[in-house]
Copies of this chain bind each other. A is one copy, B any other.
């Protein structure tokens, strides 16, 4: 789960990490009022849950009230990578003399939180990673130790020579780590972290992502979620125990297991078809899940054929079959269905399904080919 810059910085503020004076605005008038309050110059920044807003023109410096209004009018309503800008952040302009990058995320290899720091702040860190990887210092945080003073100091000395900045950084790094733990984050980033002309560290921008698996114990974070239309569908699916991602093809897929679902998409594409979605009905299925999945597939008007590929393990084929039979009894399904069932309780599943007279195929390749044949009819 992602949140906006201003929400991240509100969390930073709660931990006494210094951020710019700023306020979120929904209209140009609000932007003008905020500008008047803060004094000139200000920076007007699009708040959208995607990257690359700078390149898209979503960040503007305003040196006059008129410029602030103009910036607000241009940015509000702007489309950035398919996201419409509905609010902007107006932040007091700050004079600074250097920019740094700091970020915390999970490192798969060390199985720990990793702290990244770079003197090349203010640009996209992915670019730094490609062009000058040595400029990014990485520190694996031992989970038993946490961000103790010496670890924070080790990092801080990589960025700063001035001991006053080192001391500020130690405090800031410890707080960032605490935020990471307290909120079950998957990413906490300040880019840029600047040194103001007055010699203080300040978070000019902020970014946080969260571990979806931990949201159940983070109600305050979950309350910040602003899903778009596709995501709402995905969330509703997740509430039913399904993982759904809408794509732009016409073969609706219902598969159990993420890997098999991806492989099923790959096979469809390999034979020239186009999957309409990724849909993993997960393990531990109940008949209700299959009914929900069928409803989800049928709600996409692009879907011309449904391909069901189940390999039973924790999922029982008989549960899937029962769910499918019930779904077909309850709802009008006027498009063809191709089914492949194997694994746990497959025989029982096939027996149940046989009453509905649906086409049953024996391999994934066959299923894909049959689905493609049907969609092309």
Contacts and interface: CB of A to CB of B under 8 A. Distances in A.
A143 B144 CA distance: 8
Contacts of A143: 144
Interface string A343-369: 000000000000000000000000000
Oligomer copy total: 2
A136 B144 CA distance: 29
Interface string A131-173: 0000000000001100000000000000000000000000000
Nearest to A142: B144
A140 to B, nearest CB: 16
Question: Chain A at the B interface: mostly helix, strand, loop or mixed?
Answer: loop
A4 to B, nearest CB: 34
Nearest to A144: B144
Nearest to A145: B144
A174 to B, nearest CB: 15
A270 to B, nearest CB: 47
Contacts of A144: 143-144
A144 B144 CA distance: 5
Interface in A30-62: none
A188 to B, nearest CB: 23
A143 B143 CA distance: 12
Interface string A280-305: 00000000000000000000000000
A245 B11 CA distance: 50
A144 to B, nearest CB: 4
A208 to B, nearest CB: 26
Nearest to A143: B144
A73 B99 CA distance: 72
A30 to B, nearest CB: 43
A59 B144 CA distance: 45
A143 B142 CA distance: 14
A56 to B, nearest CB: 46
A37 to B, nearest CB: 38
Interface in A7-34: none
A179 B144 CA distance: 20
A142 to B, nearest CB: 10
A143 B145 CA distance: 10
Interface in A108-150: 143-144
A210 to B, nearest CB: 23
A144 B143 CA distance: 8
A144 B142 CA distance: 11
A337 to B, nearest CB: 45
A122 B144 CA distance: 37
A296 B144 CA distance: 45
2 contacts: A143-B144, A144-B144
**A-B residue pairs, 2 tightest by C-beta:** A144-B144, A143-B144
